[in-house]
Structure 1
Amino acid sequence: MITRLFLAALFAGTAFPASAEVAKPPALTADGVPAMPDALAAATRPYMESRSAGFGGWNAADRSMLIS
C-alpha cells in the first residue's frame, strides 16, 4: 500500500506536461537540456534576485560592522 502511494506521488508530476517553456537567451546553445517549465521559473525567481554586499570595516565605538 505504501509502495503504491509512493509511486503515485512520484509520477504525479510527470502526468501533465508543462504548459509553457522559459525562453533561452540566444547567446546560449543548449543541446539535450530539457525545457524549464514556467512554474519552476516562478518558484525560483525570488532566489535569483539578490544583491551583493561587502565588508566595509569595523566601527570600534559601538562594535558593529560596516557593510557596503
Structure 2
Amino acid sequence: MSYQHLSLAERHYIEMSRKKGVSRNQIAKDLGRSQSTISREILRNTGLRGYRHKQANRFTVDRHA
C-alpha cells in the first residue's frame, strides 16, 4: 500500500469545502481519500483562525523537517 501526501491543491479544496459547510465524508469522497485522512488533516493542521491550506502545508513541512 502506498501513501501519497495531500497536495496543496487538495488542501485548498478542503479549506474551500469547509467554508461552504461540506461534510468531511463528502470532501473525502470528492478527493478520493479516506474519511480518516481528511479528519486527521483537519485536526493536525487547524490553527487559531481555522483550517487554512497554506498554513496547513507549512505545518506539514515543518513536522517532516
Asked if Structure 1 and Structure 2 have the same fold, meaning a TM-score greater than 0.5 normalized by the shorter chain, the answer is no
Taking structure 1 as the reference length, what is the TM-score of the superposition? 0.24
Q: Say which structure is richer in helix.
A: 2
